Amino acid sequence: MANFTRRNFMSFAAGGTMMLAAGEVMAHDSKTQAIPFQADFPGPHDPIREQENRDIVDPPSTDSGTLPNLCYSFSDAHIRRGSGGWTRQVTNRELGAAKTIAGVDMRLNAGGIRELHWHKEGEWAFVTYGHARVTAFDTKGGWFIDDISVGDLWYFPPGIPHSIQGIGDDGCEFLLAFDDGGFDEDSTFLLSDWFKHIPPEVLAKNFNVPVSTFSHLPSPESEYMFAGKVPGDITSVAPQKGKKSLLNFTHHMMDQTPITSAGGSVRITDSSNFPISKTIAAALVEIAPGGMRELHWHPNNDEWQYYLSGQGRMGVFASSGQARTFDFRAGDVGYVPFAMGHYVENTGDTPLRFLELFKSDYYADISLNQWLASTPSELVQQHLHLDDNFMNALSTHKNPVVK
């Protein structure tokens, strides 16, 4: 979950530099420099957890109100294991505020197969490690197969059957996002599950084979994510029957030219450059040390975040005097309800990388800086009582990441 492990935490504390057992944690000042903060916890408490969530233990003075929790770690999620890999999920059962999107972190060993299946929800994915092979079948009777690697995406619309397999020397890991916060990975329509719940004589009639053909079907529990053989070259295993789909279910996000600035970069993928992705739009954000995803909000839907590397903090403004700050590391999920103003700041010394996901066919945001720069200056000054230096610093050019 974090580079700050239990082992180095204890050795650091034992050296007397950080008396966490007595309640001291390292907080942030306005420049995000670590400074000591004496937390008054004479009773039972978890100093390691407090160190990882500094802005909850010692929130900025600007935090106020009862905004619900907007952070949850995949490290706290239950893992389901199969012979072919493992999976864990963060839905609105784990993160109550997350109503629009649910996430699944899945690992497939080399040859491991996520069995042929389909969902009621649209499935979007981002490969975080290794190599995978995906297959799909469209409503026109066309088949699809592709090999993908780190930084690549796929999207399968609701009801489209598909499969995923780990390939290469060590398989793959990937984030799945579904366009319903109440999604449950256990509610998937599995091929093996359906076969087990169809009378054998019906199967025989449908496929024009003897009833005895179906006397040794596997159990759905063993097939959900099972060990398989690493497949051959994609050209040698492509279906020999039927026709190839005219649809493209995969996308190479890292091949996009990013929006860059001194503070970092942003890559945006939605239906404008990945046409099949009709229910999820995404941005891959990289923030340099000392940089910040500028003050902004989104006018089209809630934002679901997945943190890939680095560490940062997010401040969220919920209106009515409510605001709260959260800390994030790799493997964490963040959430920003519809239209709430927020920023994400890199608080570490390495790049902070995370995904922004939206239940929408397009990506949109409103820059606070750009909005104020595009509003009559006298009107802005009367609102905020700020001087000409502030007005002159405003820019009509959007810079998603600043430093």
* Residues catalogued as catalytic: 356
Over the chain, what HEC string results? CCCCCHHHHHHHHHCCCCCHHHCEEEEECCCCCEEEEECCCCCCCCHHHHHHCHHHHCCCCCCECCCCCCEEEHHHCCEEEECCEEEEEECCCCCCCCCCCEEEEEEECCCCEEEEEECCCCEEEEEEEEEEEEEEECCCCEEEEEEEECCEEEEECCCCCEEEEEEEEEEEEEEEEECCCCCCHHHCEEHHHHHHCCCHHHHHHHHCCCHHHHCCCCCHHHHCEECCCCCCCHHHHCCCCCEECCCCCEEEHHHCCCEEECCEEEEEECCCCCCCCCCCEEEEEEECCCCEEEEEECCCCCEEEEEEECEEEEEEEEECCEEEEEEEECCEEEEECCCCEEEEEECCCCCEEEEEEECCCCCCCEEHHHHHHCCCHHHHHHHHCCCHHHHHHCCCCCCCEEC
- 72: Cβ–Cβ under 8 A, 6 or more apart, which residues? 90, 94, 95, 332, 333
User: Do 238 and 151 meet the contact criterion of CB atoms below 8 Å apart?
Assistant: no
Residues 252 and 147 sit within 8 Å (Cβ to Cβ)? no
CA 371 to chain CA centroid, Å, is 28
| Whole-number Å distance between alpha carbons of 24 and 352 | 26
Nearest residue to 26 (alpha-carbon basis) of 1, 50, 6, 61: 50
Token pair of 103 as six digits: 């996430």
